[in-house]
């Protein structure tokens, strides 16, 4: 049997940048999948932050 190769889809964590910089307690994080071949660089999406009650930029963390 052939060895199973690593998949192109990987699980990444997105963390709110504005909440992190504000110094408030807690943080807003989302878990999503990304295709390693199509998006080799870090993912950046606008997602809802329930603590700040608005849409903010969430960046991929390692």
Question: Considering only CA atoms, which of 41, 6, 2, 23 is closest in space to residue 59?
Answer: 41
In a domain, 22, yes or no: yes
According to the model, what pLDDT value does residue 11 have? 94
Q: Mean pLDDT per segment of 10 residues, for the chain of length 62 residues? A: 76 91 83 94 95 94 87
pTM across the whole model: 0.79
Residue 3, pLDDT score: 65
For the residues of 5-42, what is the DSSP string, one character each? Answer: PPPSEEEEEEEEHHHHHHT-SS--EEEEEEETTT--S-
pLDDT value of position 13: 96
CATH number for the domain including 36? 2.20.28.120
Inside any domain, residue 3 = no
pLDDT of residue 26: 79
18: left (phi over 0), alpha (psi -120 to 50) or beta: alpha
Tell me whether residue 55 is in a domain: yes
Domain that holds residue 23: 9-61
Do the domain assignments include residue 4?
Answer: no
Number of domains, the chain:
1
| In a domain? residue 26 | yes
């Amino acid at each position: 049997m052939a060895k199973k190769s690593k998949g192109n889809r990987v699980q990444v964590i997105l963390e709110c940048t504005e909440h992190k910089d504000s110094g408030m307690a807690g943080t807003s994080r989302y878990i999503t999948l990304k295709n390693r071949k199509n998006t080799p660089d870090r993912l950046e999406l606008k997602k809802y932050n329930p603590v700040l009650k608005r849409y903010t930029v969430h960046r991929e963390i390692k």
